[in-house]
Chain A
């Protein structure tokens, strides 16, 4: 059985985790660190200590803004942003549900919009997100949404994209190819 650190190191994005020297530059560079249960340096320490459930059920990585400041500053070339994405994908594949943040639900609405329309339909994505998380929270967004609509920036219907079917077939076949290897 693989250790947690091996599992992360063999997930795309997690490859360089063993190079970490725990200097904390990633945490210092992170604009979301103060909102995280475990800031980036600590997440790496927890992974190496084998705390799989603690890490994958935490909301920490879901606060990553993908600003890549840690990635350009890390003196060891770890690419913490990619590492965080690797943790998000592991948590999501293994069904870890996080109560403290709706980011996973937002990401799922986003991806589902791509699969249904071939491109992201922002209004549909937002609607699905609020309906599956907190419909009441949509109320406070009404003003922003209405302003966008009035300024011709929120088409209510998705654009018809011919390549949508082709994209679905590519995704389907890619899954089969991966599963067979």
Chain B
């Protein structure tokens, strides 16, 4: 059993509830114990950092100081929380004046940060600690033949914190293939989905989403998988807006990679929050049923 301090991030409780649920569901079969950071608050976030970087680092520091007391690595499934917490951590370690100011502020609630936390993305933990090989050995229901476009988005691999190649990442491809599925070539796998600007600059973001969906389908994908809650909501919930704007008729399911892993581990769809996906994951589930029938009938 491997133990971690878990930072779900705000969206894993709301717009990305499927992410939160599927992580809980796959932890036990993968021998991971994720202990939620008690009483965590917002990671600091990109919008906060854009308006006031030092103050956003003070916001992140509360979580880092709480996590430091646990003595475990701090793991988050949210790409945005990851770069915010990881970036704040690096800045605090290298900027002693800021560390002093932040500790001056943390002192009002009897907290202090010493710079000893290791911030990690859940995908990196799955690849490096759990490993695709071990995941493959626990697969109950292989996703054989399912064509999946592995979509990394931006903040899992950029800025470059050393986990995977920022231009041509492979880690998610390996996870997908460990499930028996086929990771199709996906040239736009690390291009931007529009992020939070889907709200304020919708037309810009919809243009990017259109390219991502088109590129996945062009390469034969039956679904897209991503670890990122923001990429997921944009590709899933805004797919109908892309269709209205570009007169397309995409119905491409978008699954969190933890949902895909859960299906391969034989966990039922509802426990993985698949009923919260807006574009129906039906085609993926039907594919799995068909594979199961083939195995049963020995063909």
- Contact residues of A with B, CB < 8 Å? 12-13, 31-32, 35, 62-63, 65-69, 71-72, 79, 81, 84-86, 88-89, 92-93, 101-103, 105-108, 110-111, 114, 118-123, 126, 129, 143-144, 147-148, 151-155, 159, 161-164, 166-167, 169-175, 177-178, 181
B159 near A71 (CB under 8 angstroms)? yes
Report the bound CA distance from A172 to B61 in whole Å.
14
**Residues in A neighbouring B47, C-beta threshold 8 A:** 106-107, 110-111
- A-B pairs with beta carbons under 8 A, tally: 196
A170 near B108 (CB under 8 angstroms)? yes
B155 near A66 (CB under 8 angstroms)? yes
- Flag B225-263 by CB within 8 Å of A: 1 or 0 each: 000000001000110110000000000000000000000
B237 near A106 (CB under 8 angstroms)? no
**Residues in B neighbouring A88, C-beta threshold 8 A:** 50-51
B58 near A66 (CB under 8 angstroms)? no
Q: How far is the CB of B230 from chain A (nearest CB, A)?
A: 10
B42 near A120 (CB under 8 angstroms)? yes
**Residues in A neighbouring B196, C-beta threshold 8 A:** 106, 110
B195 near A66 (CB under 8 angstroms)? yes
**Residues in A neighbouring B155, C-beta threshold 8 A:** 66-68
Asked if B149 is an interface residue, CB under 8 A from chain A, the answer is no
- Main SS class of interface, B: helix
Which 8 interchain pairs have the tightest Cβ spacing?
A: A68-B158, A174-B105, A67-B192, A107-B47, A67-B154, A110-B47, A120-B10, A106-B200
A114 partner, pick from B45, B53, B83, beta carbons under 8 A: B45
Q: Known: A147-B278, A167-B62, A170-B59. Contact between A79 and B159, CB under 8 A?
A: yes
Report the bound CA distance from A67 to B83 in whole Å.
11
Q: Mind listing 27 A-B residue pairs with CB under 8 Å? A: A12-B53, A63-B197, A63-B201, A67-B155, A68-B83, A68-B155, A72-B159, A89-B50, A92-B51, A92-B52, A106-B47, A106-B196, A106-B199, A107-B47, A114-B42, A119-B13, A119-B41, A147-B278, A151-B275, A153-B16, A153-B17, A153-B233, A163-B62, A170-B61, A170-B109, A171-B58, A175-B55
B39 partner, pick from A67, A129, A163, A170, beta carbons under 8 A: A163
A101 near B50 (CB under 8 angstroms)? no
B192 near A31 (CB under 8 angstroms)? yes
- Flag B258-280 by CB within 8 Å of A: 1 or 0 each: 00000000000000000111100
B104 near A173 (CB under 8 angstroms)? yes
**Shortest Cβ distance from B101 into A: residue:** A177
Report the bound CA distance from A154 to B275 in whole Å.
14
B159 near A86 (CB under 8 angstroms)? no
Most buried by A among B11, B18, B51, B194: B51
A107 partner, pick from B18, B51, B201, beta carbons under 8 A: B51
Q: Known: A65-B195, A81-B159, A105-B200. Contact between A120 and B45, CB under 8 A?
A: yes
Asked if B287 is an interface residue, CB under 8 A from chain A, the answer is no
A173 near B45 (CB under 8 angstroms)? no
Asked if B48 is an interface residue, CB under 8 A from chain A, the answer is yes
- Flag B12-39 by CB within 8 Å of A: 1 or 0 each: 0111111000000000000000000001
**Shortest Cβ distance from B154 into A: residue:** A67
Report the bound CA distance from A63 to B49 in whole Å.
15
Asked if B163 is an interface residue, CB under 8 A from chain A, the answer is no
Report the bound CA distance from A79 to B158 in whole Å.
11
Find residues 127-173 in chain B having any chain A CB closer than 8 Å to their own CB.
Answer: 154-155, 158-160, 166-167
Asked if B180 is an interface residue, CB under 8 A from chain A, the answer is no
